[in-house]
Structure 1
Amino acid sequence: MSHKSPKPSQLANVALLACLYASSAWAQSETKSEVSATGKSVELVYESSFQNYQRYSASTIQSWKLTNDTVKDIGGWREYAKEVTQDQDAKPSVSVHSHGGHQ
């Protein structure tokens, strides 16, 4: 059985893998945790996500005809659109972006 010598590209791959392995070993540095000189402790407060949970309650089911007539009586979709724009006018935007003279 004869043993062939490796090709230069195979040697380069082996050398590259060896370098990557060595660099990853050096990247793992030992961390030392030091206690701060002030010695202040932090108080953790637990707040449950479910503390203010409100269970779903289905609204009463009405006839679709009655519901459509009610919407028509109050002004239809335009009335809902007015409510949305009035809510936006009442609540000013928190962040105001200035773009110089651009409008």
Structure 2
Amino acid sequence: MATSNHLPPFRALLPWTLALFAGAAFAQAPADTEAPQPSLPTKLQYSSAIGAYQTYADQQVQSWREANDRVGQIGGWRAYAKEIKTGKSASVKDATPSSDPHVGHHGGGTP
């Protein structure tokens, strides 16, 4: 007994399927037209990206020996690292004088 396939080919059903989906999309309820609209600013403000720009100013030149001595009095690179970490600037009066000038070398130990 032979069975016959009475289903139309897929290509014949495709336009009807698309028309059905398009009709279903248009039949949906419209979006709420009374949704609150975001309020727009009434006063526009402009701030320039380079408005706070400060021109370069030369720093006072000092002797390199004085600069190195000051860094040594403050506490060396550790004082600057602490300054960055805490946000407070290092100064000579905050430095604790050490009797041993090599206390920071080699992890504090002796060679």
For the aligned pair, the TM-score class normalised by the smaller chain equals 0.3 to 0.5
Question: Considering only CA atoms, is the larger Rg found in Structure 1 or Structure 2?
Answer: 2
TM-score, scaled relative to structure 1: 0.38
Structure with the greater relative contact order (CA < 8 A, sep ≥ 6): 1 or 2?
2
TM-score (norm 2): 0.36
